[in-house]
Amino acid sequence: MVAEEVKFCLRCGTSLEITQRAGRHRPACPHCGWVFFPDPKVAVLVLIEREDKVLLVQRAHSPYKGKWTLPAGFLDAGEDPARAAEREVREETNLQVRADELIDVISGKVPPRGANILILYRGEILDGELKAGDDAAQAAFFTLDDLPPLAFEATKGILAGK
């Protein structure tokens, strides 16, 4: 949730006012003093390689419906990032993996309601049969010289660095 979307105090329901707090203009409650501090959205991505190919999933929904990306998804509050990465791969590909190496932490926000922080892991397949699920229309392995249309600049950058 971004600051512009917060209109009422979560504690007392009073209309918020934009005031200078903690070095920035922030929504704050003139009645009880509560201040809205937006938390960053964090996503986890997994790079899985097999026989000189990389695993990608085709997006079933907007944004970028029909384009391809690494298996990825948002981190839930209180969830371990590596376990979240494994969960996302299982949901999108039916594969059980181990997120065994932290590759990178990437900053940015694309699309507008996307993640502010991307945590990239290398994954090792442990079990399962590849089958698209959750919000993936398809899942398949591709060589780096024959990639389908990619959805996100972060995915393009990650694969270009391979």
Domain ranges for the chain: 1-38, 42-160
Q: Which two tokens stand for residue 2?
A: 């971004």
- pLDDT, one tens digit per residue, over 60-107 is 998 899 999 999 999 999 999 999 999 999 999 999 999 989 999 999
Determine the pLDDT at residue 10: 94
Phi-psi map region of 110: left, alpha, beta (phi>0 left; psi -120 to 50 alpha): beta
d(CA 71, CA 87): 10
Collapsed DSSP state (helix, strand, coil) of residue 109: coil
| pLDDT tens profile 17-68 | 999 988 999 999 999 999 999 888 999 999 999 999 999 999 999 889 999 9
- Residue 79, phi then psi, degrees to nearest 5: -90, 140
Stated pTM of the model: 0.85
Exposed, middle or buried, 160 (CB in 10 Å: 0-12/13-18/19+)? exposed
Topology adopted by domain 42-160:
Nucleoside Triphosphate Pyrophosphohydrolase (3.90.79)
